[in-house]
Structure 1
Amino acid sequence: MPGKNQFVYNKWMVVELEKKKDVFLQTAYMNGIPTEQRAFGIVVGSGRKGQTYLYWDKNSLYQLPVSYYTPANDWCNSPGYSENYIRFDRPIPATCLECHSTYAESKEKKDGGTVFNKKSILYGVDCERCHGPGAAHVAFHTQHPEAKTASNIISAKNLSRQQRLDACAQCHSGLRKHTQPAFSFTVGQKLDDFSTPNYDVDTVGNLDVHGNQYGLLTACRCFKMTAQLDCSSCHNVHVSERQNMTAFSQRCMSCHNVNGVAHDSCSYKPPTGIILADNCVDCHMPLLPSKKITLKLANESTVEADMVRTHFVNVYQEATKRFVEKSR
């Protein structure tokens, strides 16, 4: 849209986003002169928080400099890129697509770069990413429509707690050091046999809120005090429940409801009319600023932190004050 299609770094450097015929482009301008232009190749991200864009250079992928940030309905510098100068040179390894697609065949070059087989890529995160290859499953149930028990497919019901946690931790435990090629891990296997965390497990309480929900969750008392709590205790991955604080809070109550008294373990006494049990999340898992992801918006001159919901369940007094003010 004219007037909404530029990201201005400063008065000398601008990236313009445009569509020519059926191709979307990002073009860098230095002092009004176009210096580099690349076409959108792959869109990464659901759009819930935002989207970033990759471009093809032969069979290798690189990140485009400008991304979209949903909360502000605006363009921003792409994650990993400076807000002060234009770059197009961030290479995308297979480990990036491992969390942002279902499958991609790749090979590492001697210079450290990655080449992909474009025809092999299964875009998006679909059922097979968690449940494993589905061809045999489909074939069996096509031939046996009367069968009610899922066959030839990975079911979370048959996994241990750590196996279920590992399934989520593959993409929700921050950057990991890979000891096996991308896409080697299959749900049900031990994640540490394929990649290891790049942080000290004794300092998980200090992790940034962006990207390591697993590390934060496993550091908190709620997790340590029960042998059953895992990601699926709160998240139903097959249902969109974003912003449904009541639904999430009911799951908190499944542990914190003592002798039929909801929220019995909370010592905070709210003002009249505010029902804490309807929203445990904004007090105990608030949105916090990320130190890893900072953004400059196209129409702003300042840099701001991305706000991410922490998974370290704790008492956050300032968050409680904000929640009460907002609820009045």
Structure 2
Amino acid sequence: MRRLTLRQFKVFEAVARHLSFSRAAAELHLSQPAVSMQVKGLENIVGQPLTEQLGKKIYLTEAGREVLHTSQNIAAQLNDLHTNLEQLRGMDSGRLNLAVTSTVNAVATGILARFRGRHPMLSIHLDVSNRESVLSQLAANSIDLAIMGQVPEGLGLEAIRFMDNPLVVIAPPDHPLTHKKWISANELATESFLVREAGSGTRGAMERFFAAKGLEIRTSMEMSSNEAIKQAVQAGLGLGILSQQTLEMELALKHLAVLAVEDFPIMRHWYLVHRADKRLSPVAQAFKQFVLDEGKAKQAG
């Protein structure tokens, strides 16, 4: 039986990504017949068609999707190998690919700044996204590490808790509840809340808190970022529940106030996450240890 080749996988991955033989040929600087020949050779070895054409459009067959998944994994592993070999030459010539959820951006940015201070020549790519996007990047092996809150099980991820993340209830400083020394959950449930989008870890924590007390959240507006919620709370459009670590400036300037609510803060945690099967580069290993050390120092302080 003939063996599959890296060249075939590379060509097919380009075809599958573009869903076009001509665009794949242009990207790879090959002729279209050469691309077609490579895909045909792959199909002969697999024994099944990998693409099908309906009208003018190309679609992947089920076998094609399987081969694409393998092609992407091979490409990611080769990229890891190239990066690791490059970084063995020295920490200051490496690259770190990091993704963080928007809720932890303020914390992660501070950590990154201090890490970059020790290694000023490093190339760092930071992507700030929602939770689903960060999980997708981990699944695709397109990033080294992620920093996020809630980490689902069953995805083959290694998650290390490194810092507490207290959630607090915020209001504009002139809100009547800011003068109360203790607010019950029942009283809080009569207020309108500004919430994050469905799937957000912060929103999930809110919903679990109220559900555990047999209460429902009155939502006045759904927003896609913490900054939007902070501004809307300042404008008096409702209350919010956010990480206290993201509120330092607003609290110092007295643009927002934290309410003294029963059973608050809700204590959640920040996690450093990577694929369990990923071989971390020297730079990623160094950053991982730096984050864990930062977390220990923060908790001790």
TM range (shorter): under 0.3
If the length of structure 1 is used for normalisation, what is the TM-score? 0.21
**Greater C-alpha Rg:** 2
If the length of structure 2 is used for normalisation, what is the TM-score? 0.23
Greater relative contact order (Cα < 8 A, sep 6+): 2
Higher helix share: 2
